[in-house]
Structure 1
């Protein structure tokens, strides 16, 4: 009745059909994930647009001026005068930190041609 080659070919066709079905089902699942992510991204972008609009409304100069006038007694805000600006020479010197020393040392290594990524200090 059936030869061995017929049975092998039928088994191969069934396996190929199963593989095709699994691949198609996996692709559809990935496509649905992609669409869900795209809709989530769209929602987040819309939320960002709304937040930007709110921010622009909250930072309008006329609104801030009105709030400054309302809360003047609590905040004691005043415009900045020209004599309040400091010169560079009047600023205190910044204290040194360990990162400053490390950055200077690495700059010296890079300037000398030594590969900074190696620990042996061998130049290439």
Structure 2
């Protein structure tokens, strides 16, 4: 018959085989996930290349010139005159409007001067403390 040590060794071998199988399966799942991500990356790169090619075709100067001539009347386009281009010195400065803040109230609750608390309580109810 089997000895106790034989049964223990068989159990250890079965456990090792199960652990090896489980590890191999997890590694294969991770490899499949990596391959799926690489496929998605390649797809996105191809999409980006396609969009760049489309953008290149749509922004060709000859095409834009042709479209500008076709829709000139509808868009009201006219050639640019050299006198229309100016610098920052040609733009007038925005006037600065400074208000006198010394005579105004400073924000409602911040200015409570001249008011005495009624009955020892603060007249401003904020809801943060029980009165």
Structure 1 unaligned residues grouped into runs of 5+ = 96-124
Q: How far off is 1:20 after superposition? A: 0.5
Say whether 1:72 aligns with 2:72.
Answer: yes
Deviation (angstroms), 1:75: 1.3
The total of aligned residue pairs comes to 94
- In terms of mean alpha carbon deviation, does 62-71 or 31-40 score higher? 31-40
Q: Which has the higher helix share?
A: 1
Unaligned runs of 5+ in 2: 97-131
Superposition deviation, residue 71 in structure 1: 0.4
- Post-superposition shift, 1:8? 1.4
Instruction: Tell me if 1:3 matches 2:3.
Output: yes
Q: Deviations over 1:45-89 (max 9, x none)?
A: 111111111111111101000000000011122333332233223
Aligned to 2:49: 49
Give the equivalent residue in structure 1 for 2:15: 15
- CA deviation digits over 1:73-119, x for unaligned, max 9? 111223333322332234445x9xxxxxxxxxxxxxxxxxxxxxxxx
Cα distance between partner residues in 2 of 1:54 and 1:73 = 27
List structure 1 runs of 4+ shifted beyond 6 angstroms.
none
RMSD: 1.8
Structure label with greater radius of gyration: 2
Q: In 2, Cα distance between the equivalents of 1:44 and 1:11?
A: 49
